Amino acid sequence: MSEPILSIRGLTKTYRGGTRALDAVDLDIHAGEIFALLGPNGAGKTTLIGAVCGLVRPSGGTITAFGHDLARDWRRARARIGLVPQELATDMFETVWRAVAYSQGLFGKPYDPARLEEILKGLSLWDKKDAQIRALSGGMKRRVLIAKALAHEPELLFLDEPTAGVDVELRKGMWDQIAALKQRGVTIILTTHYIEEAELMADRVGIIEGGRIRMVDEKRAMMERLGTTEAVIDLAAPLGEIPPALAGFALELSQAGTRLTYRGGNGEGRGRAEVAQLAQALTRAGIAFTSLDIHDSSLEDIFVGLLGKQAQEAA
Amino acid sequence: MHFNPRSAFAIYQREMSRAFRTAFQSILSPVLTTSLYFVVFGSVIGARMEPVGGVPYGAFIIPGLLMLTLLGETTSNASFGIYMPRFTGTIYELLSAPVGVAETLAGFVGAAATKGLILAAIILATARLFVDYEIAHPLLAMVYIMLVASSFALFGFVLGIWADSFEKLGIIPMLILTPLTFLGGTFYSIRDLPQPWDAIALANPIAFLVSGLRYAFYGVSDVPIAVSLGLTLGFLAVCTIIIAVIFRTGWRLRE
């Protein structure tokens, strides 16, 4: 794998009052990937982004971006990083055009109307370029923040809850825009509460909880490793116990012997194959069933399961 | 030392745009207030007053009134300029940009100095409607106004970072700057005060500022111009150092 463009080592942040928001975080981000950082509220996602983007002063550890140590050579590193914050924080009385032009200049780029036009058209904001931001809808305001973050053409873009409070249709539009950014070679780190979003877009997923990175893996590998298939089979007649012919399957009998539940496999289809074999075994054994419902675990199931397991371990 | 002029200019442009957007508050309101002072003290009462130091009373109060408006407006404007982004969260952009204390101050203070000059020009034009005056050292007056505007913009900047409520933001200009300016020889010469009040009045730093501007206007002052200039430069240096420390430590800026 290529050299990481962002390398975080032993990053710690303890706020005044003693809250440890980040606890020895190690993380590498590679060029061109979409990395989804998942975690419950208060897990440390925004603090981690803030530490990289200069909003939070780390208590310890190092952050290296594009080969520059952020503590010493922050100017060069920050010039290549963009941030779309979680809050809709922008000067509401400014026009869209001026707000985005300001961001371009603030990051030291020459005024480039052609580039601004391209960004605004790409985000369907061109018609609103002369409108005051306060007059825009919530979704449009969020797109203005994205436009501002793109004005200096960052190579690494942080999207902190980019689709929070955005309706379903607009959210899909944003996914397209994020995919287009990736196509242009922008590396994206996104935090989201919509795990479906991470499942759909991310190349790699990191799970953070209690200020610690609990797991980082490629989405595919994570789902393969931790994914399961669940099949619920309603029987035509109750069984007293699981027959020996079905002993090779991970089964559970419930509902007074009228329901068989299979849990097993992985995220790569092994479970579905086993469910097919189970159906054949039931037929061979002369056990009739009235319905069969199969459900593959999503990233959300894995996420919830992982956090639940850790909570149990902690208790 | 790194300095990106484009970043500084972006901040400057934004601050100027903010001032023009709130022109009524930034420009018209102080002009109206100052006009009322000129009507009352310049034309009505001033016509019955003896000249002070050879300067007709109506003209004598111009530097003080200009200073009164300049200090209040520049401090308030700069403090709001940095407090509002902190309050609304838009400061994230400044903090995440490759922008240091030099660009930030050049943008904010440059805009404050420009606004100070515009404000002074408008006040002087307004004053012309009520009283006659000649400026003895126009270049010195311009430089001095810019210097004072820059110093108090820096002071306002510190205030805007220190304040954690709108109430605190208003306390210093309202309860300290305005009374000190009134008592700093705006409407009288400190030399005319009886002892020991003349000496006590010199404990007020604003008196030196008013005196300095009055020298630039009419060549007369309560204290030597060099002292006024030195004090202003010293104040500017202290505020700059405080802001540099704030940026270095991230106090009230970075969590």
* Residue pLDDT, tens place only, B117-150: 898 898 898 888 888 899 999 999 999 999 999 9
The whole-number pLDDT of residue B225 equals 94
Same domain for A245 and A158, yes or no, is no
Domain at A238, CATH number: 3.30.70
Contact of B1 with chain A, judged by CB distance below 8 Å, is answered with no
The answer on A150 and A22 residing in a single domain is yes
Q: Span A14-22, mean pLDDT?
A: 91
Q: Which helix (H) or strand (E) holds A183?
A: helix A168-183
Beta carbons of A106 and B95 less than 8 Å apart: no
**Does B255 map to a domain?**
no
Chain A CB within 8 Å of residue B48 CB? no
Which of A210, A192, A282 lies closest to A239, judged by CA?
A282
Partners of B13 on chain A (C-beta within 8 Å) are: 102, 105
- At residue A314, the pLDDT reads 63
| A194–B contact, CB cutoff 8 A | no
Same domain for A189 and A250: no
- Domain end: A207, A224, A241, which one? A224
Shortest Cα distance from B174 to chain A (angstroms)? 27
Query: Does residue A305 fall inside a structural domain?
Result: no
**What pLDDT sits at residue A267?**
67
CA distance B61 to B63: 6
B42 lies in a domain? yes
Same domain for A269 and A141, yes or no, is no
pLDDT exceeds cutoff 80 at A164: no
Residue B254 lies in a domain: no
Are A172 and A93 in the same domain?
Answer: yes
Question: A1 lies in a domain?
Answer: no
Q: Does A280 touch chain B (CB under 8 A)?
A: no
pLDDT surpasses 80 at A195: no
B185: left (phi over 0), alpha (psi -120 to 50) or beta: left
- pLDDT at position A145: 93
Tokens of A312: 């149990």
User: Are residue A157 and residue A259 in the same domain, yes or no?
Assistant: no
Rounded alpha-carbon distances, angstroms, from residue B198 to A57, A273, B58, B143, B205? 50, 98, 22, 28, 13
Nearest CA in chain A to B89: A89
Residue A17 has pLDDT above 60, yes or no: yes
Give the confidence band of A315 by pLDDT, cuts at 50, 70, 90.
low
Confidence at residue A187, expressed as pLDDT on a 0 to 100 scale? 96
| CATH number of domain containing A168 | 3.40.50.300
| pLDDT, one tens digit for every residue, chain B (255 residues) | 689 999 999 999 999 998 888 777 777 777 888 888 888 887 778 778 888 888 888 899 999 999 998 998 899 889 988 999 999 899 999 999 999 999 999 998 899 889 888 988 988 988 888 888 999 999 999 999 999 999 999 999 999 999 999 988 888 888 888 888 888 888 888 888 888 888 888 889 999 999 999 999 999 888 999 999 999 999 999 999 999 999 989 888 888
Q: What is the pLDDT of residues A227-249, one digit of tens each?
A: 788 889 999 999 999 999 898 88
In terms of residue numbers, what domain contains B89?
5-249
**pLDDT, greater one: A267 or A190:** A190
Q: What percent of chain A has pLDDT over 90?
A: 57
Verify that A79 and A24 share a domain, yes or no: yes
Are residues A112 and A259 both part of a single domain? Answer: no
The answer on A204 and A66 residing in a single domain is yes
Rounded Cα gap, residues B37 and B40, in angstroms: 5
Residue A314 lies in a domain: no
Instruction: Assess B250–A contact: CB distance below 8 Å, yes or no.
Output: yes
CA distance B206 to B193: 16
- The domain tally of chain B equals 1
Write the single-letter amino acid at B25: Q
In-domain check, residue A302: no
Note whether residue B155 is domain-resident.
yes
Q: How far apart are CA A278 and CA A4, in angstroms?
A: 45
Residues from chain B contacting residue A103 (CB–CB below 8 Å): 93
Alpha-carbon span B131 to A167, nearest angstrom:
63
What's the domain count of chain A?
A: 2
Measured distance CA(A113)–CA(A118) in Å, rounded: 9
Q: Which residues contact A17 (CB under 8 A, 6 or more apart)?
A: none
Q: Are residues A105 and B94, on separate chains, in Cβ contact within 8 Å? A: no
CB contact (8 A) between residue B95 and residue A57: no
Q: Is residue A186 situated within a structural domain?
A: yes
Cβ–Cβ below 8 Å for A106 and B2: no
pLDDT surpassing 70 at residue A54:
yes
Upper half-sphere CA count for residue B254 (Cβ side, 13 Å)? 23
pLDDT band at A310 (very low <50, low <70, confident <90, very high): low
Whole-prediction pTM value? Answer: 0.84
Assess whether pLDDT exceeds 70 at residue A28: yes
The predicted-structure confidence for A250-268, as pLDDT tens digits, reads as follows 899 999 999 999 988 776 7
User: Is B64 contained in some domain?
Assistant: yes
What pLDDT, on a 0 to 100 scale, did the predictor assign at position A88? 82
Position B181 scores a pLDDT of: 87
pLDDT at A1 over 60: no
Task: State residue B243's pLDDT score.
Answer: 94
What distance in Å separates residue B182's CA from the closest CA in chain A? Answer: 35
Within a domain: B189: yes
* Burial tier of B125 (Cβ tally within 10 Å: 0-12, 13-18, 19+): exposed
Is A308 within a domain?
no
The mean-pLDDT minimum among A84-88, A294-298, B4-8 falls in A294-298
Contact status of B254 with chain A (Cβ, < 8 Å): yes
Same domain, A209 and A233: no
Whether the predicted interface score ipTM is above 0.90: no
Residue A162: give the domain boundaries. Answer: 6-224
Q: Let me know if residue A279 belongs to a domain.
A: yes
Strands A68-69 and A156-160: unpaired
Are both A149 and A181 inside the same structural domain?
A: yes
**Secondary structure class of A230 (helix, strand, coil):** strand
Residues A35 and A64 in one domain: yes
The SS3 assignment for A293 reads: strand
Is the CB of B135 inside 8 Å of chain A's CB atoms? no
Q: Name the residue of chain B whose CA is nearest to A99's CA.
A: B14
DSSP-assigned letter for residue B43: I
Give the mean pLDDT of chain A.
89
